[in-house]
Structure 1
């Protein structure tokens, strides 16, 4: 039986392939921008060829994940205000298997509880328009979103004078939710907590 790559190995393989594509070492040559050969000869397609080559490779890795049941989960650790949380999330370049989704769902409550604990007294904002805009909300708004979502993830922005804790609340497949490609079957909402008087930056 041949060796099955681990989650970490697949992440490294994808990172190396992404770099190769960005450097122009991998191109998908049959890309046509307009479909009109007269126009296409005047349009540079390097970037599109690189992007498409990487997307094709990534799709092959996702198929490999499914065939070999290689999890897309990575484990993160976050420390905020002296409190720690070890939690699962799907690597942004991989997909979630059905078992991964169950792990994410099981971890949701502990992630949300941790977020509530470390954001007590902070101002809350819901981001929209691809996080370009934020609307201030209250805890009851967050609770309604928590009730209708399946999994959660965290992101922290911090320096000596600023703290922002972002709670991602999602449903469906994380790989579709990250870039809003899967709506309505997959998606997520981002809740930003910042110290009073500050605005979200993430």
Structure 2
């Protein structure tokens, strides 16, 4: 009986000791992040080589891809990519970002992924239903009329941490010959959604390449 009683005392002491240890660990202070933090573009890397799709079918012939992209002006290609995006970003807090004095972005961070939202207004609606290339993007522009102006919401994604993060950018060209022979091309802070390739019409052509721009 004494041995059993002694074992119970030891077990109770062990549990109590473990509980105290757990409480101590939960009180460890997390160092504060020293905002503001400004980061600058240092390099860029391709996530994947240029892809092209015609009528929902991927074209792997490099010659055809080169020919399709040949007439895109240099300002809208990946050449000298760093000069075509913001020269810096400044995190003013964990949920606020700026790249100039007049631009406030809202930051939502999940693990190592940021979704960055920015709001602007315009006298015209930037969303043209005839040039619907954004349907292939993860983030699509939202435009809401507000009297004589239009409220515009745009988003993009980045990865990493506040002092070392990567911004996703796209180089794209989209041609829709059956409707006014529409052609759209450009660079965008966005990501490609491969599940939308099925939305291409039988003669539509889409070429797209994704990059990471590293900011440190």
> Which TM-score band (shorter chain)?
under 0.3
* TM-score (norm. length: structure 2): 0.21
Larger Rg: 2
* TM-score (norm. length: structure 1): 0.22
